Amino acid sequence: MPQPVLYNLSLAELEELMRAWGQQPFRAKQLYRQLYLNLTNDPAAMSDLPLPLRVRLHHEAQLDPLELVQSQQADDGLTRKALFRVSNGALIESVLMIYADRVTVCVSTQAGCAMGCDFCATGRMGLLRNLSCGEIVAQVLWACRELRAWQVKLAATPHTPIMSTGEADTQWWGSESGAFSERVTHQVNRVTNVVFMGMGEPFANYERWWAAVERLHDPNGFNLGARNMTVSTVGVVPGILRLAEAPLPINLAISLHAPDDQLRSTMMPINRRYPLAELLAATREYTERSGRRVSFEYVLLHGRNDHPYQAMALAKLLRGQSISKGPPLLCHVNLIPWNPVPGVPLSRSERSRVHEFQQILRDYGVACTIRIERGASIAAACGQLAGH
Ligand code: SAH
Ligand code: SF4
């Protein structure tokens, strides 16, 4: 019998396990609190549990399904990347980003990815395997422990300046958002946001991913608000429609990256299966059913998808004036600086081009921001995760 992985189990399932082990049912709640409130990943430290139960947990259950292989820091320690080994040897990555007003963790939902987008490091690996609910949840708990350790260290050295000016070549993303000009105040003492934007396509692993969302949301445990979670999809239409019916109002981001089918199919093979008209129809259905705004991600590539005429085409698409007829979509566009991927002969758009692109969208009435860049020096930025 394989050992139960505790992070895979809901509270009800933990109760079942405790019953099967001849324990009182309330032990499950204690254990659940240890896992999700105290962030304990070692049975020996669960001091409110009787010793024999701690021993049994140690021998007969698996606590943390992630083996930390390496961790790296950038942006003066405000960005931290972890490389984990999961069972079967696959490597996955997670990134913790500390801001003045929030703490975000970006987690993987698959080891590798089958979608094959031609600008993405993960896409080049192919799919190794889906992650379990417990493996997804455990990445968030790693981030919480990492944050706690960082804060303990800061408290011990209160005069350490923790302000960064960013690197010269990335400064302009920072200046857009003020990312590195702000002083981190240590006010935020928990992970406030979880984004499913690491390795993999969440909607290609929908059930396990959704179980992780529910686990993180559970008010008896980790208690993270649904609006503090964001899932990003390459454009898997059935997943978008499924999410429209889901009981928790988590945020949806859709990777668009091109304003027409011809270009999008070259960049993202999924477009041949779910072309733009279908994708936008599903998005429209999602915004109408849920009443929530979506955000479209658009990674800017020099000379490929960053021309002014493409910005205009994108604006028309989102305003419902071309293949997707109807009222303007309830949306927002997030422009992403492309992060270099070894061996990929592409380059990021110039700063002036990005601002021009943004201005055109805004002139057409489409809300548009430029994403803050974090972690490029440790290959922890969007699309650079490849389990190195
Ligand atoms: N598979 C999902 C979520 C993971 S990728 C998706 O594709 O949406 C998270 C985001 O990073 C996506 O918007 C993706 O298009 C973008 N991305 C991929 N490679 C990138 C790169 N090299 N530079 C910048 N963004 C990239
Ligand atoms: Fe997969 Fe997203 Fe990368 Fe495309 S961009 S290959 S869907 S992780």
pLDDT digits over 325-361, tens only?
788 999 999 999 899 999 999 999 999 999 999 999 9
Cβ of 253 less than 6 Å from ligand 2: no
Ligand index nearest the alpha carbon of residue 295: 1
Residue 133 Cα to chain centre, angstroms = 14
> How close is the Cα of 237 to the center of ligand 1, in Å?
17
- 92 and 38, same domain (yes or no): no
Cβ of 267 less than 6 Å from ligand 2: no
- 160 and 128, same domain (yes or no): yes
- 24 and 164, same domain (yes or no): no
- 141 and 184, same domain (yes or no): yes
Could you identify the atom of ligand 2 that is nearest to the CA of residue 232?
2
Could you identify the atom of ligand 2 that is nearest to the CA of residue 121?
3
Q: pLDDT at position 261, please? A: 98
- 97 and 193, same domain (yes or no): yes
72 within a domain of the structure (yes/no) = yes
| Of 1-5, 146-150, 282-286, 383-387, the least confident | 383-387
Residue-wise pLDDT for 224-248, tens only, equals 999 999 999 999 999 999 999 999 9
Q: pLDDT at position 116, please? A: 96
383 within a domain of the structure (yes/no) = no
- 32 and 163, same domain (yes or no): no
Ligand 2 pocket: which of 95, 131, 233, 234 to mutate (most atoms <8 Å of CB)? 234
- 174 and 110, same domain (yes or no): yes
Tell me which amino acid residue 36 is.
Y
Q: Which residues are annotated as a binding site for [4Fe-4S] cluster?
A: 113, 117, 120
> How close is the Cα of 319 to the center of ligand 1, in Å?
24
- 154 and 277, same domain (yes or no): yes
User: Considering its fold, how many domains does the chain have in total?
Assistant: 2
Give dist(CA 284, CA 275) in Å, integer. Answer: 14
Residues with CB under 6 A from ligand 1: 119-120, 197, 201, 232-234, 255, 297, 299, 336, 338-339, 341, 382-384
Tell me which amino acid residue 224 is.
L
> How close is the Cα of 267 to the center of ligand 2, in Å?
10
388 within a domain of the structure (yes/no) = no
- Calculate mean pLDDT across residues 314-330: 89
Q: Which CATH number is 25's domain given?
A: 1.10.150.530
Q: How confident is the model at residue 16 (pLDDT cuts 50, 70, 90)?
A: very high
Q: Contact 195/230 with Cβ under 8 angstroms?
A: yes
- 141 and 230, same domain (yes or no): yes
Ligand index nearest the alpha carbon of residue 336: 1
Q: Which residues are annotated as a binding site for S-adenosyl-L-methionine?
A: 200-201, 232, 255-257, 339
Q: Which domain holds residue 180?
A: 68-378
∠ Cα 349 117 75 (to 5°):
55
Residue-wise pLDDT for 134-182, tens only, equals 999 999 999 999 999 888 888 887 655 454 433 333 333 433 343 343 4
- 168 and 185, same domain (yes or no): yes
Q: pLDDT at position 324, please? A: 75
Put simply, whether the predicted model's pTM sits higher than 0.85 gets the answer: yes
Classify 251 in phi/psi space as left (phi over 0), alpha (psi -120 to 50) or beta. beta
140 within a domain of the structure (yes/no) = yes
Q: How confident is the model at residue 388 (pLDDT cuts 50, 70, 90)?
A: low
- Percent of the chain beyond pLDDT 70? 89
355 within a domain of the structure (yes/no) = yes
Could you identify the atom of ligand 2 that is nearest to the CA of residue 122?
3
Q: How confident is the model at residue 304 (pLDDT cuts 50, 70, 90)?
A: very high
Ligand index nearest the alpha carbon of residue 341: 1
Give dist(CA 215, CA 252) in Å, integer. Answer: 18
- 242 and 221, same domain (yes or no): yes
- 95 and 222, same domain (yes or no): yes
Q: How many CB atoms lie within 10 A of CB 204?
A: 19
Q: 377 CB contacts (<8 Å, ≥6 apart)?
A: 74, 167
Ligand 1 atom 13, closest CA? 255
Q: Contact 185/163 with Cβ under 8 angstroms?
A: no
385 within a domain of the structure (yes/no) = no
Residue-wise pLDDT for 245-286, tens only, equals 999 999 999 999 999 999 999 999 999 999 999 999 999 999
Q: Tell whether the model's pLDDT for residue 372 goes beyond 90.
A: no
Q: Which CATH number is 110's domain given?
A: 3.20.20.70
- Tell me the catalytic residues: 93, 382
Q: Which residues are annotated as a binding site?
A: 113, 117, 120, 200-201, 232, 255-257, 339
102 within a domain of the structure (yes/no) = yes
Give dist(CA 258, CA 116) in Å, integer. Answer: 16
Domain boundary among 15, 37, 60: 60
Residues in the chain: 388
Residue-wise pLDDT for 57-113, tens only, equals 999 999 999 999 999 998 888 999 999 999 989 999 999 999 888 999 999 999 999
Domain boundary among 60, 88, 106: 60
244 within a domain of the structure (yes/no) = yes
